[in-house]
Amino acid sequence: MYLILSGLFIASLVAGNLIFQKFFSWNFFGWYTFEISVGILPYPVTFLITDIISEIYGRKKANQVVVSGLFASAFVLAIVYLGDAVPATAWSPIQDVVFHQVFGFTAIAVGASMTAYLLAQFIDIRIYHFWKRKTNGKHLWLRNNASTMLSQFVDTLTVLLLLCSFEIIEWVRFSDLLLSGFLFKVLVAAVDTPFLYVAVFGIKKYFGLGINDELLAE
């Protein structure tokens, strides 16, 4: 189970870093129009998974999967660099210009994302376990939302500051993207709470764990 969760975590993280350059708008029932990168779509999954791992396997294992995600992203970045460096054949469906246009900013994006990612994930894990201790393992919804919402704001703020500083995104869009990104992540954090309960309940029942027990994964 730990390997499956780790695999989903890394896949979501890497996918978000690769597809970030496409932006879209989404009208939320006429209340607010989100303008966000498609890279944000898989990203909240990473916080859901670290919360599940934190609850079942403990803080140490959650930190380990975060570090694993960092190494996986660095490896993918190296592969993308290699793919960008080698010249395309005359008959290649994707030519050098198009490939570079899609992946040319990957290094800066991954660097910005990883900086924000590490900061936000470690904050998320620390806050999660703080509230777990305070509530003696009760009120799962509280530690899930309290940790995720704060860490997601830190993540969104940090990555936008870096991307705007490197002129990948115009500063004039900073405020709107910050608000859209954070509100979207808050919405997802609220929606994913039932999924967290189902996952934690199912896994704990399978392994016979009590309310405040953690499984030691080797």
Mean pLDDT of 140-166: 81
Q: Which residues have a Cβ under 8 Å from the Cβ of 121 and sit 6 or more positions away?
A: 46, 47, 50, 66, 69, 151
pLDDT tens, residue by residue, 80-102: 888 888 999 999 998 999 888 88
Identify the three-state secondary structure at position 184: helix
How much is the pLDDT for 8? Answer: 92
Tell me the one-letter amino acid at 117: Y
Are 212 and 137 in contact by the 8 Å Cβ rule? The answer is yes
**Cα–Cα distance between 13 and 204 in angstroms, integer?**
26
Percent of the chain at pLDDT above 90?
8
Identify the three-state secondary structure at position 38: helix
**Phi, psi for residue 94 in degrees, rounded to 5:** -115, 115
How much is the pLDDT for 95? Answer: 92
How much is the pLDDT for 106? Answer: 63
How much is the pLDDT for 107? Answer: 66
Better-scored residue on pLDDT, 72 or 159: 72
Picking from 90, 49, 62, the residue whose alpha carbon sits closest to that of residue 192 is 49
Identify the three-state secondary structure at position 203: helix
Mean pLDDT of 34-47: 83
Q: Which two tokens stand for residue 106?
A: 């990957």
Identify the three-state secondary structure at position 22: coil
Alpha helices (H) in the chain, listed in sequence order = 2-18, 43-57, 59-85, 96-103, 106-134, 140-165, 174-191, 193-207
How much is the pLDDT for 142? Answer: 79
Q: Which residues have a Cβ under 8 Å from the Cβ of 64 and sit 6 or more positions away?
A: none
Tell me the one-letter amino acid at 175: S
Are 146 and 126 in contact by the 8 Å Cβ rule? The answer is no
pTM for the whole structure: 0.78
Distances (CA, A) of 46 to 29, 148, 152, 176: 26, 10, 11, 23
How much is the pLDDT for 168? Answer: 74
Domains of the chain: 2-207 (1.10.1760)
Task: Assess whether pLDDT exceeds 80 at residue 216.
Answer: no
